[in-house]
Amino acid sequence: MLKAAYFDITAIMELLKGGKNILPKIEAYREFYTGANTAAQLVGMEEFLVEKKVLKAHELRGLLDSLNVLPFTKEDAEKAGEILGQLKAAGKNVSLEEARVVAQCIRRGLTLITNRNLKDFEGLKLKEDRI
């Protein structure tokens, strides 16, 4: 059964580089999402160098058109704060950006497609699919 997935910035960069490991992930999921922070990172780049090829900002925006950009809601913020507090209390140092992404995925039941090391998030109800 095909599912929905959240592509974080590491997955999108892998896609832009034409990495072969990302192609099976694209074939396995029917709905594609990303977060507003990732969208801002992409739109904020005037150009992006991918293995000697320069992608212009309009090409990056074209990629965003193929993804649904999730708004970061009050409920997402509350969940991210809960995650940050829980992990920091356990002595784990995670970034706000990572907590925001994980919160959005958990709240919406999305599988996170990433190349990040998310071992600090073990024990949370996060579905993860590594590149």
Range of the domain at 66: 3-125
112 within some domain = yes
- pLDDT tens-digit map of 30-88: 889 999 888 887 777 666 666 666 766 677 777 788 889 999 999 999 999 999 999 99
33 within some domain = yes
pLDDT for res 108: 94
pLDDT for res 2: 62
Per cent of the chain over pLDDT 70 is 88
95 within some domain = yes
Q: SS3 sequence, 94-121?
A: CCHHHHHHHHHHHHHCCEEEECCCCHHH
Whole-model pTM: value is: 0.82
Which secondary-structure segment (H or E) carries 113?
strand 111-114
Q: What is the chain's percent helix, strand, coil content, to nearest 5?
A: 50, 25, 30
130 within some domain = no
Rounded Cα distance, 121 and 116, in Å: 11
91 within some domain = yes
65 within some domain = yes
Number of domains the chain contains: 1
131 within some domain = no
Fill in the amino acid letter for 36: A
- We report the CATH number of the domain holding residue 27 as 3.40.50.1010
